[in-house]
Amino acid sequence: MLPTLTLLTSPNWVEYELIDSGNGQKLERFGPYVFVRPEVQALWHKTLLPEHWGAAHAIFQPAGEESGGHWQFKKKVAERWEMSYPLTPNPSPPGRGAGVRAIRFWAQTTPGRHLGVFPEGAAHWDWLAGLIQNAGRPVQMLNLFGYTGLATLAAAVAGAKVTHVDASKKAITWARENQTLSGLEGKPIRWIVDDALKFVQREARRGVKYDGILLDPPKFGRGPKGEVWEVYKSLPVLLQACREILSEKPLFAAVTIYAVKASALHLYYLLEEMMKGLGGNLECGELVTQEKSAGRLLSQAVYARWEVTRP
């Protein structure tokens, strides 16, 4: 059977919205602030008038095709500000309450055009939180390339013990601050600054197992000791290593990639190879955000994810 591409949206956001997009840009609201950021995939024309775009607090001016550039501020923006997401796990089986709890986090402008959150990723947060909450057993989760920790916090809220790995000490510090802001200091989370592949290989040698693995790798990057990451070369090797640390009864696995030319189908077949022989359900597609202005869907990333077959 041929795989079907699925578009995942994140409709539960209150403090974020994609206001408009077009002409290589997107107009977004993050909490009380509105920003204009580059978006090469917004090939169509803008829907809103120039005065709407001109009212933005800041515009990111790119230096080139990659993430370099600078912010042009038109209005005052706080150095950092609080945001939240109302975590809503998937519907629970009869007799189990779904439960809703917000995770809170700090947002701020950075030199790399990002603001500490990828809003479209909330589709994965709800998904994994629902699987963990309804598992009926203890769950160990590994979050690789965990950035500012929002998926980690979603998993912790749902009851998982989480190991969060990122090569950036600054990102780990930010993630721990988000943990405190969310009131989750007592949750069992390990924060680790390390190269993803080296960490997974060490865990395999130690015999450590995980029930769920989440990967959100960059196109290119370097580990804390200069280890080179190139997604096309490195991802297949990493996924093979991840198979070695899966528990006997894994719950889920997911891979998301931004800013690459790879199709979701490529991730589908990579993940299918990793999870071979384990049954379950495998899907792939795109993480998309829907505009408020014209309702168009803006593709942000490609993904593939596997979950255990539910009874």
How does pLDDT run across 283-300, given as a tens digit for each residue? 999 999 999 999 999 999
Statement: residue 53 has pLDDT above 80 = yes
| Tokens linked to 260 | 């690459």
pLDDT classification of 311: cutoffs 50, 70, 90: low
Percent over 90 (pLDDT), the chain: 82
Assigned token pair, 242: 């991840």
Beta strands in 48-160 (DSSP E): 58-62, 69-73, 81-87, 101-107, 140-144
Calpha distance 53→60 (Å, rounded): 13
Rounded-to-integer distance, Cα 84 and Cα 103, Å: 6
Task: Supply the pTM of this predicted model.
Answer: 0.93
Burial of 186 (0-12, 13-18, 19+ CB in 10 A): exposed
C-alpha distance from residue 279 to each of 251, 264, 268 (Å):
11, 20, 14
Residue 296's pLDDT is 98
> pLDDT band at 65, cuts 50/70/90?
low
CB contact at 8 A, 301 and 120: yes
Closest CA to 258 of 12, 89, 40: 40
> What percent of the chain lies above the pLDDT cut of 70?
94
Per the model's pLDDT, the better-predicted residue between 42 and 101 turns out to be 42
Q: Inform me whether the pLDDT recorded for 203 exceeds 90.
A: yes
Q: What is the pLDDT of residue 89?
A: 59
Name every residue whose Cβ is closer than 8 Å to that of residue 180 and which is 6 or more positions away in sequence. none
pLDDT of amino acid 231? 86
Query: Has residue 7 got a pLDDT over 70?
Result: yes
Mean pLDDT, rounded, of the chain:
92
Measured between alpha carbons, how far is 118 from 218 in angstroms, rounded to an integer? 13
283, β-bridge pairs:
305
Find out whether 216 and 254 touch, Cβ atoms under 8 Å.
no
Enumerate domains of the chain plus CATH numbers.
5-10+79-307 (3.40.50.150)
